[in-house]
């Protein structure tokens, strides 16, 4: 029984080692009393008791009289020093269960106490407790990254196994803590022995990333069973074997099916997991899924990854290269067909046939050429890029064939249109083909390990500063794009019209493309009007069924193809003008679309750094249990926003009203869904999703350390950061005192103490000023931009 009075969130020695190191028994999930359900009855039996979380342990009171062990639990460094210096205790003392003070300090994350005990000669690899575990293993089970770092730096052996066969990698995986797992995977002891994921390669069962516990389970199997998608992705990225089987013959894919987590199954399938592998009883993952009633999750996950239900890769009618070519060319053919349809049929029949033709094009591209079951298949394809580029092509053809020869008195306007047309086409090509500016990635494992060590020593190894997917340091103003699969520096948004992210390197090209597109459409419409005014025969009669003004009806009856092309071009002015205005406003305020959205959703331009822990199912379960134990279940039900701003609670609560929806409500839902889809296509959904629209109201009053006035902001945009003296791919902190414009820095360069002895001028002064912001005071300036996390 716990003694009362200890600080919350600590493990007490009165709970015993068994409370902090529970025995975990693993058996075949299909052999648990013959049950085939996917419920807690066999789940608990399959992997036994879940790894504990410190927050779930009841609060306890230190023992009386005070011992070095109870003082270590509380972090009472003064008492520990007094006991050791007076000779009443030593750093090697053990309690009645054989546990040292270092064990208790490690599991309670008492970093100063751990440092002092190690300095006093505590055995860093002392084994104690019922499970005969080391302090490193106790810290790993709780995910205390700074304790893990300290113990490893003092020579702790990460390959030691406890009585259950768990090493520190297994235990960190149990904790579902992402950053400790990232750090531990950089250790040479867990270097991959199956980097190519060759199923014939034999992993080392005692060391490395594929080390097995007493029942043959690897860390990847544990992560897959727990439903921790980020952990699964990290382990696969570092070369964990997909083909290792435990003593029951279960592979990581088998255990992912046991959990039924769609994300984990999809990641294993994308990595190349074999769906035909059989366990000792001859069951494949699919057969297990049928018995455990997780087949829908398995099939949906395989479909998301582009696989058939049997695990084979789905093949389209064309290879990937020819598929892209076909997608880029089909809209050109169908747009021409639609314009021609209007020219040969009355408007009321032509409109219906044109809609059918557009649907036919959409069906061929999205249902034949592309895989409609694959996740985000349209966003990954050049479909929208093809529509805008082929529309520009038809505008150019109509201008070259008709307008340039039919408006001889407007040579200057035709020349102007030609220049704008080339400018628009060229910048569209650049915006679509250029890299948007990616965050720098370590090139070798050594560089990656040194980066992680550096961030950890600076207390910056967290989601705001490190991307666990790219395994790189995250610059300020960057975002990890799930479509591009990279961290994009100065990320604005992922634009479907250019099939690319808009970032530090291609933002200028994108803006020129949008601006020239707007100007080009306006000139094209003016030239079309002049063409009709100059060439329309006076005796042209309007069609009797035309409901437009007589002059427009006469024009449509004379050259309907040009009129349809002009109407289609004019339609694009709606979203392009809105987008151009928003972009110009944001540039003048030194903000991106992402930052405006974050400002409304989170209150900070930088938003919430890092990946959402929603995909760590075991972490979320432990978090809910901890909140419940503290009487905070109401807070847990309030929802948790992921990286895309969709709350888990919000998704779950949607269905609560399903039984009360009438026909009118359903129609409104469909209408809202269609409008949201349209906003997403044109790139305006970031301003309307959630509370993102509030960001527009707060933009002028937001604390923006990058804002130096309209002129300086525009100069910085067009010079790729040279006005502020930064390279956005490597901007990791805000200088102390904020940024200065180049003109001010040049004038005050002689007064800067860090300037070189030769007075090297603006560039050196700005970089030296930037380096000052990388120190301890930089986080205060950064607090204006985003909430600085103290947790790793």
Q: What are the catalytic residues?
A: 495
Strand partners, 438: 488
Average pLDDT, the chain: 79
Asked whether residue 382 is domain-assigned, the answer is yes
Q: Tell which of 103, 132, 165 closes a domain.
A: 165
- What's the rounded mean pLDDT across residues 335-340? 95
Q: What is the pLDDT of residue 788?
A: 54
Q: Residue 328: is it exposed, middle or buried by C-beta count within 10 angstroms (0-12/13-18/19+)? A: middle
Of the pLDDT bands very low, low, confident and very high (cuts 50, 70, 90), residue 200 is: low
Res. 456: pLDDT tops 90: yes
Q: Tell which of 137, 165, 193 closes a domain.
A: 165
Which of 165-169, 371-375, 443-447 is modeled with the greatest confidence? 165-169
Res. 535: pLDDT tops 80: yes
pTM as predicted? 0.79
- Residues 582, 715 share a domain: no
Asked whether residue 195 is domain-assigned, the answer is no
708-750: pLDDT as tens digits: 889 999 999 999 888 888 899 999 988 776 676 544 444 433 3
- Residues 718, 585 share a domain: no
Of the pLDDT bands very low, low, confident and very high (cuts 50, 70, 90), residue 614 is: confident
Rounded CA separation 298/479 (Å)? 30
- Which CATH number belongs to the domain containing residue 7 in this structure? 1.25.40.20
- Residues 724, 585 share a domain: no
Asked whether residue 378 is domain-assigned, the answer is yes
End-to-end CA gap in the chain: 32
Res. 163: pLDDT tops 70: yes
Rounded CA separation 11/766 (Å)? 49
Rounded CA separation 611/617 (Å)? 14
Beta-carbon contacts of 272 under 8 Å, excluding residues fewer than 6 positions away, are 197, 242
Dihedral sign for Cα atoms in the order 356, 357, 360, 365: negative
Q: What is the pLDDT of residue 782?
A: 63
661-689: pLDDT as tens digits: 444 455 555 555 555 666 665 556 655 55
- Residues 721, 582 share a domain: no
CB atoms near residue 625 (< 10 Å): 17
Q: Tell which of 544, 572, 590 closes a domain.
A: 590
Percent helix / strand / coil, the chain, rounded to 5: 55, 5, 40
Asked whether residue 100 is domain-assigned, the answer is yes
Asked whether residue 64 is domain-assigned, the answer is yes
Among 225, 181, 190, smallest CA distance to 26 is for 225
Buried b (16+ CB within 10 A) or exposed e, 248-273: bbbbbbbbbbbbbbbbbbbbbbbbeb
Cβ atoms of 479 and 594 within 8 Å: the answer is: yes
Res. 59: pLDDT tops 50: no
DSSP-assigned letters across all residues of 142-173:
HT-HHHHHHHHHTT--TT---TTS--HHHHHH
Q: pLDDT: is 305 or 753 the higher one? A: 305
Asked whether residue 623 is domain-assigned, the answer is no
Q: What is the pLDDT of residue 662?
A: 45
Q: What is the pLDDT of residue 778?
A: 36
Q: Which of 143-147, 649-653, 703-707 has the lowest mean pLDDT?
A: 649-653
- Residues 395, 522 share a domain: yes
Of the pLDDT bands very low, low, confident and very high (cuts 50, 70, 90), residue 198 is: low
Of the pLDDT bands very low, low, confident and very high (cuts 50, 70, 90), residue 695 is: low
- Residues 716, 585 share a domain: no
Asked whether residue 650 is domain-assigned, the answer is no
Res. 542: pLDDT tops 70: no
751-763: pLDDT as tens digits: 334 444 344 333 3
Q: What is the pLDDT of residue 51?
A: 40
Rounded CA separation 190/717 (Å)? 44
Of the pLDDT bands very low, low, confident and very high (cuts 50, 70, 90), residue 772 is: very low
Of the pLDDT bands very low, low, confident and very high (cuts 50, 70, 90), residue 313 is: confident
37-55: pLDDT as tens digits: 333 333 333 343 344 343 3
- Residues 727, 585 share a domain: no
Number of domains in the chain: 3
Res. 771: pLDDT tops 60: no
Among 215, 300, 213, 212, smallest CA distance to 256 is for 300
SS3 486: strand
- Residues 720, 584 share a domain: no
Asked whether residue 398 is domain-assigned, the answer is yes
Q: By residue range, what is the domain housing residue 728?
A: 707-782
Res. 630: pLDDT tops 90: no
């Amino acid at each position: 029984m716990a003694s009362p009075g200890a600080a919350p969130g600590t493990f007490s020695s009165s709970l015993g080692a068994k409370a902090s190191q529970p025995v975990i028994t693993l058996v075949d999930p299909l052999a648990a009393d013959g049950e085939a359900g996917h419920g807690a009855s066999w789940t608990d039996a399959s992997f036994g008791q879940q790894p504990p979380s410190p927050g779930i342990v009841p609060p306890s009171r230190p023992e009386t009289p005070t011992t070095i062990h109870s003082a270590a639990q509380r972090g009472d460094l003064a008492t520990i020093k007094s006991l050791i210096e007076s000779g009443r205790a030593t750093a090697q003392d053990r309690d009645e269960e054989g546990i040292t003070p270092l064990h208790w300090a490690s599991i309670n994350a008492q970093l100063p106490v751990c440092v002092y005990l190690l300095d006093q000669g505590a055995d860093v690899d002392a084994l104690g407790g019922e499970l005969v575990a080391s302090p490193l293993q106790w810290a790993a089970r709780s995910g205390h990254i700074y304790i893990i770092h300290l113990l490893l730096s003092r020579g702790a052996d990460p390959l030691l196994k406890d009585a259950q066969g768990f090493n520190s990698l297994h235990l960190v995986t149990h904790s579902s803590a992402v950053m400790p797992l990232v750090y531990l995977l950089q250790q040479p002891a867990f270097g991959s022995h199956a980097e190519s994921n060759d199923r014939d390669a034999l992993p080392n069962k005692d060391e490395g990333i594929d080390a097995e516990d007493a029942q043959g389970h690897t860390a990847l199997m544990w992560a897959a069973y727990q439903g921790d998608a980020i952990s699964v992705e990290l382990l696969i990225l570092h070369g964990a074997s997909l083909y290792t089987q435990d003593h029951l013959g279960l592979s990581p894919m088998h255990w992912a099916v046991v959990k039924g987590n769609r994300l984990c199954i999809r990641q294993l399938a994308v990595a190349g997991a074999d769906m035909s592998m059989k366990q000792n009883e001859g069951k494949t993952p699919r057969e297990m899924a049928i018995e455990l009633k997780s087949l829908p999750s398995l099939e949906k996950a395989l479909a998301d990854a582009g696989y058939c239900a049997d695990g084979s890769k789905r093949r389209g009618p064309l290879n990937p290269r020819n598929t892209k070519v076909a997608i880029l060319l089909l809209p050109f053919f169908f747009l021409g067909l639609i314009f021609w349809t209007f020219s040969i049929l009355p408007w009321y029949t032509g409109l219906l046939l044109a809609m059918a033709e557009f649907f036919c094009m959409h069906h061929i591209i999205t249902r034949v050429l592309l895989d409609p079951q694959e996740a985000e298949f349209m966003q990954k394809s050049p479909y929208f890029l093809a529509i805008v580029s082929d529309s520009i092509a038809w505008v150019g053809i109509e201008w070259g064939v008709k307008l340039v020869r039919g408006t001889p008195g407007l040579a200057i306007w035709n020349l102007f249109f030609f220049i704008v047309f080339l400018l628009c086409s060229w910048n569209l090509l650049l915006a679509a083909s250029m890299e948007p500016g990616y965050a720098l990635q370590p090139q070798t494992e050594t560089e990656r390990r040194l980066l992680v060590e550096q961030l950890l020593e600076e207390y910056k190894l967290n989601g705001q500063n490190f991307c666990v997917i790219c395994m790189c340091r995250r610059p300020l103003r960057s975002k990890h794009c799930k479509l591009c699969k990279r961290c994009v520096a100065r990320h604005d948004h992922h634009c479907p019209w250019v099939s690319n992210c808009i970032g530090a390197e291609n933002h200028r090209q994108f803006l020129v493309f949008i601006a020239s597109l707007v100007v080009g459409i306006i000139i094209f419409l003016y030239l079309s009007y002049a063409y009709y005014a100059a060439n329309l025969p006076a005796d042209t009669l309007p069609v009797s069924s035309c409901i437009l003004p007589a002059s427009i009806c006469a024009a449509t009856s004379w050259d309907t193809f040009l009129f349809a092309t002009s109407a289609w071009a004019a339609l694009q002015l709606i979203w392009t003008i809105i987008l151009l205005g928003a972009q110009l406003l944001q540039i003048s305020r030194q903000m991106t679309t992402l930052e405006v959205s974050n400002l409304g959703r989170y209150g900070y331009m930088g938003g919430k750094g890092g990946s959402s822990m929603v995909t760590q199912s075991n972490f979320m379960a432990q978090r809910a249990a901890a909140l419940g134990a503290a009487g905070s279940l109401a807070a847990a039900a309030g929802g948790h926003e992921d990286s895309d701003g969709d709350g888990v609670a919000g998704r779950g609560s949607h269905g609560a009203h399903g039984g009360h929806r009438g026909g009118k409500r359903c129609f409104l839902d469909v209408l809202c869904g269609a409008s949201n889809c349209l906003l997403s296509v044109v790139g305006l959904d970031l301003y309307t999703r959630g509370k993102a629209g509030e960001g527009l109201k707060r933009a002028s009053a937001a604390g923006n350390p990058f804002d130096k006035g309209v002129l300086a902001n525009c100069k910085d945009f067009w010079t790729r950061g040279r006005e502020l003296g930064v390279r956005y791919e490597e901007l990791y902190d805000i200088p102390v005192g904020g940024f200065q414009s180049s003109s001010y820095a040049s004038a005050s360069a002689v007064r800067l103490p860090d300037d070189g002895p030769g007075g090297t001028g603006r560039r050196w002064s700005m970089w030296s000023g930037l380096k000052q912001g990388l120190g301890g005071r930089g986080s205060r300036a950064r607090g204006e931009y985003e909430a600085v996390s103290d947790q790793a």
